[in-house]
């Protein structure tokens, strides 16, 4: 049995794993532990992932968190998977645009739209 997840909640819509953050304010150490939980899902076979960053403002959009999102995207792509970010506020989208990460990630308005788009992708 795997240990309980401390920083994320996970639910499934079909074959899409939807990850939500339990807290919207994270320390650097908590971001690293959150990343371990997400990587555990990928290592466990997840290939389609929607990461829900809302509702509301996220107070950990600094370089460590953004770097982890980039890593999740890279690892999923290397394994033939895909990821979408969803439930972003306009301010969060501005952060991604300012960092030029809006060109790297795929976005969806909410988890249902993200799951529907990911479900259309071949395994």
Domain boundaries, the chain: 8-118
The pLDDT of residue 57: 73
The pLDDT of residue 59: 72
* DSSP symbols for the chain: -PPPPSSEEEEEETTEEEEEES-SS--HHHHHHHHHHHHHHHHTT--EEEEE--SS--S--SHHHHHHHHHHHHHHHHTT-EEEEES--HHHHHHHHHTT-TTTS-EESSHHHHHHHHHTS--
pLDDT along the chain (123 residues), means of 10: 83 95 89 95 96 81 87 96 95 90 94 95 69
Choosing among 3.50.50.60, 3.40.50.620, 3.30.450.20, 3.30.750.24, the CATH entry for 8-118 is: 3.30.750.24
| Residues 18, 117 contacting (CB under 8 angstroms) | no
pTM of the model: 0.91
The pLDDT of residue 121: 81
């Amino acid at each position: 049995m795997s240990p309980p997840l401390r920083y994320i909640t996970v639910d499934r819509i079909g074959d899409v794993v939807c990850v939500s953050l339990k807290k919207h304010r994270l320390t650097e150490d908590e971001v690293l532990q959150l990343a371990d939980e997400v990587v555990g899902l990928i290592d466990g076979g997840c290939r389609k992932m929607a990461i829900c960053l809302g509702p509301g403002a996220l107070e950990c959009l600094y370089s460590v968190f953004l770097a982890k999102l980039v890593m999740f995207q890279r690892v999923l792509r290397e394994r033939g998977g895909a990821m979408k970010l969803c439930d972003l506020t306009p301010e969060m989208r501005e952060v991604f645009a300012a960092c030029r990460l809006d060109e790297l990630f795929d976005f969806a308005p909410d988890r249902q739209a993200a799951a529907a788009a990911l479900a259309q992708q071949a395994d």
